[in-house]
Structure 1
Amino acid sequence: MGEIRNAERTRKAILQAARDEFFDRGYNGARIESIAKRAGVNKQLIYHYFKSKEELINETIEDFIKMLPSGNLTMPADPVQIAEFRFKVNIEHLLDFLKFTAWEAVDTLPENANGEERRRTVLQSYNEDMRVKQEMGLVPKELDPSLLTLMLSSLTVYPLLYSNVTRMITGHTPGDPEFQQKWSQFLRLISERIFRMA
């Protein structure tokens, strides 16, 4: 029984170290040697638990998603609140992961080496939620639910990832509570203009 607990503890330590390494350096910049060092294990032990770097990143993302507080991530019923809600979730729970996704814009990744299937499921659920709200008459019929999801993703991610641009345009950093409050209010105003027309 002690061996099983030790194995689980070791695996958990590797996944935590992998998350830190991948989120800090991206997929291509991450090194198995660095992950081993962060986890306090040797490199060979990582390959005992994970067959490849691709398997490790996929399991790292899966583990990260499982650790999110699911009760707090249910989409609001009112579409006007979605952008503000997603912005808050991104700040409180997803910021490090979003930084990892920014690496994808500059890295060439092996196919499905970024938890793509799991992430697609989450993002498609946003489309489905928007489609259902549209059928309920809460979202204008002429707006494509997937394009609305993409727009909301852009508005709630971009200011956080491109902090220098945010600072140069607004004079505030994304971590500044004043910016967060102003941007949240702006998201609500924009959303009211879009969704109150339904």
Structure 2
Amino acid sequence: MRNAEATRKRILEAAMKEFSSFGIAGARVDRIAKNAGCNKNLIYIYFENKETLFTTVLQKHLTRVYEEIDFTPEDLPGYAARVFDFAMTHPDLMRLMAWYSLEQRVGTLTERATVQEKKIKEIMEAQNAGLVGTTFTPGFLMTTIMALATAWTATNPFGLSHDLDAEKMPIETREAIVKAIRLITKSEEDIAN
């Protein structure tokens, strides 16, 4: 049993490298098997097909993200900073997400949708409690946080191309993101004062 678990782990690691580099369409099961040091047929035995393997890899890493990045609706600027830190230190996962968004060939990731719905609901509750401003909808806030926090990754066509110094100044970029999120999550009363 341990040998099977070790092989499965090697397959998932090799698949992460392959899919983050080439996406679903460009990835080759032969290369994954070679890099995992296993027979190609084992991949099909464990995962049925390439799309299922891709979904498994993506879900595994998204689950890790959900566990490692605490969502704090009462402190959305802090959450944005943690997303930025994670995104900048995990370019392979950001590339994998980009491929997922581009190809949309695999089924909907229900856990991802559930987590996003929960976060939006928590933002709404924070707004109702007066902890977050109501100028913008919870969905808009969540989208803005994710867009800003990941804008300077290599997979985003805008951040680095418009802000050439950002890569050399990650601390300043992080602080600017926090400040921007702090401003858009203030209530209109707080902005007026």
TM-score of the superposition, structure 2-length normalised?
A: 0.84
Q: CA deviation at 1:160?
A: 0.9
Partner of residue 55 from structure 1, selected from 52, 55, 74: 52
1-structure distance, mates of 2:64, 2:180: 32
Instruction: Give the structure 2 partner of residue 134 of structure 1.
Output: 127
Residues 90 and 46 of structure 1: CA distance in aligned 2, closer, same or farther (over 3 Å): same
Q: CA deviation at 1:192?
A: 2.5
Q: CA deviation at 1:69?
A: 8.1
Write the letter of the residue equivalent to 1:103. Answer: W
Alignment root-mean-square deviation, CA: 2.3
Secondary structure of the 2:41 match is: helix
Instruction: Give the structure 2 partner of residue 193 of structure 1.
Output: 183
Partner of residue 5 from structure 2, selected from 5, 8, 16: 8
Q: CA deviation at 1:62?
A: 2.6
Q: CA deviation at 1:135?
A: 1.8
Identity %, equivalent residues: 26
Deviates more, 1:34-43 or 1:162-171: 162-171
2-structure distance, mates of 1:56, 1:40: 16
Instruction: Give the structure 2 partner of residue 118 of structure 1.
Output: 111
1:139–1:195 CA contact under 8 A, matched in 2: yes
Q: CA deviation at 1:68?
A: 4.8
1:28-81 Cα shifts (integer Å, max 9, x gaps): 1111111111101121111111111122112212322344582x4112332332
Instruction: Give the structure 1 partner of residue 105 of structure 2.
Output: 109
Instruction: Show structure 2 runs of 5+ residues with no match.
Output: 189-193
Instruction: Show structure 1 runs of 5+ residues with no match.
Output: none
Q: CA deviation at 1:105?
A: 4.5
Secondary structure of the 1:137 match is: coil
2-structure distance, mates of 1:120, 1:45: 30
Secondary structure of the 1:188 match is: helix
